Amino acid sequence: MIRSPLVTKTLFMVGPIPISETVVVTWGLMAALALAAWFTTRSLALKASRSQTVLELIVGAIEDQIQNTIRAAPKPYVSMIGTLFLFILVANWSSLVPGIEPPTAHIETDAALGLIVFFAIVYFGIRARGLGGYLKTFAEPTIIMIPLNVVETFTRTFSLIVRLFGNIMSGVFIIGIILSLAGLLVPIPLMALDLLVGAIQAYIFTVLAMVFIGSAVSEGGAGGSTERGSP
Amino acid sequence: MNWNEIVSIFAAAMAVSFGAIGPALGEGRAVAAAMDAIARQPEAAGTIARTLFVGLAMIETMAIYCLVIALLVLFANPFIH
């Protein structure tokens, strides 16, 4: 991947719509995740099998994180947050398969994920406080803060998008450059670093989504959480 | 190679190199403080680590912005095409 990271490669056309490689990989990952979830939840038993135990461990860990970060019952959030985390993790690690570029290395995928978080914040905020209550949070410390709070709503989504894009794309890019400069087996340590970065970025994306949702739904504004606010 | 391209490449290198200094210093201070806190209070390691990762991501965003600017200058420069 030495060509520009801002353009996508078109694989084929469906009518007038060009289908890029990113879209194909994304749908492949979605199908794989959905099939894996379907197969493991098809025969749930009280005495858990091996795959069911792994699944329960993952869901339990995600629920625990939501409980700790949002400080509310995790039930309404666990499906969205869990799906975001698993999809981003699998997408970041999909660069392990030869010939596949992670879809999160293209800004369109990240923009879609960021927009999901943006609308989820608005949805959960309005559901928890009502429309008037949610709009009132923009004037929270004083009324002078309204422009800053409105700008912050958009910039934090933008920084969420650009953070994921920049980290994953730079990993792919650096591996491409080193491969072309040094040779076959040299980029392996960097690929290991890439796995770590991919896991951390998936974690950070979901934790930040949880922090933003938590700041939108927490009662009384302050809510005792010190993790509110961000660039 | 006209002047626009030469200046663009130079600007990209400057953006990444100088943009990495500040976040590097900041992340070093943050990790040092977190290590200190974990050493003093090992039972709070989970909370400290989670907050540290979120904070590091915030700091790192500044460097990532510089990288994105450098890539825009290199690959999507409006003054070259």
Q: What angle do CA B57, B60, B61 make, to 5 degrees?
A: 90
Contacts of A169 in chain B (CB under 8 A): 71
On average, the pLDDT of chain B sits at 88
Q: Chain A neighbours among B 4-43 (CB < 8 Å)?
A: none
User: Binning pLDDT at 50, 70 and 90, where does residue B28 land?
Assistant: very high
| Cβ pair B68:A165 closer than 8 A | yes
Closest residue to B68, CB basis, from A166, A204, A227: A166
pLDDT digits 0-9 by tens, A165-218: 988 988 888 888 888 888 788 888 888 989 988 998 999 899 889 988 988 887
Report whether B52 contacts B31 (CB < 8 A).
Answer: yes
Per-position b or e across A170-188, b if 16+ CB within 10 A of its CB: bbbbebbeebeeeeeeebe
Angle, nearest 10°, between helix axes A107-136 and A188-217? 20
Measured between alpha carbons, how far is A42 from A158 in angstroms, rounded to an integer? 38
pLDDT band per the 50, 70, 90 thresholds, residue B17: very high
What residues of chain B lie within 8 A of the CB of A162, using their CB?
Answer: 61, 64-65, 68
Provide the shortest C-alpha distance from residue A3 to chain B (in Å). Answer: 9
- The answer to whether A35 touches A42, Cβ cutoff 8 Å, is no
Q: Residue B52 in contact with residue B63, Cβ under 8 Å?
A: no
pLDDT at position A29 is 93
Find chain B residues with C-beta within 8 A of A227's C-beta: 51, 54
The reported pLDDT for the residue numbered A88 is 95
- At B1, list the tokens: 């190679």
**B10-29: average pLDDT:** 93
| Residue found by looking up tokens 């570029």 in the block | A101
Give the nearest partner residue to A162 out of B58, B65, B76, using CB atoms.
Answer: B65
Give me A147's structure tokens: 């422009």
Q: Please tell me which residue, B28 or A44, carries the higher pLDDT value.
A: B28
ipTM over 0.90: no
Min Cα distance A31 → chain B (Å) is 30
Q: What are B77's two structure tokens?
A: 């420069």
Q: Is the pLDDT of residue B71 over 50?
A: yes
Q: Are the Cβ atoms of A170 and B75 closer than 8 angstroms? A: no
> What does each of the 231 residues of chain A score in pLDDT, given as a tens digit?
456 777 777 778 787 888 888 899 999 999 999 999 898 888 788 887 888 888 899 999 999 888 888 888 888 899 999 999 999 999 999 988 888 889 998 888 999 999 999 999 999 999 988 888 888 888 878 888 888 888 888 888 988 898 899 889 888 888 888 888 887 888 888 889 899 889 989 998 998 899 889 888 875 444 444 444 444
* Mean predicted confidence (pLDDT) in B27-36: 95
Residues of chain A found within 8 Å of residue B57, distances taken between Cβ atoms: 163, 200-201, 204, 208
Q: Which of B57, B72, B75 sits opposite A163 (nearest CB)?
A: B57
Task: State the CB neighbour count (10 A cutoff) for residue A130.
Answer: 11
Under a CB-based contact definition with an 8 Å cutoff, are residues A36 and A58 in contact? no
Any A CB within 8 A of B71 CB: yes
How many Cβ contacts (< 8 angstroms) between chains A and B?
48
Mention every residue, 6+ apart, whose C-beta is less than 8 A from residue A186: A178, A179
DSSP 8-state symbol, B76:
S
Which chain A residue is nearest to residue B61, measuring alpha carbons? A163
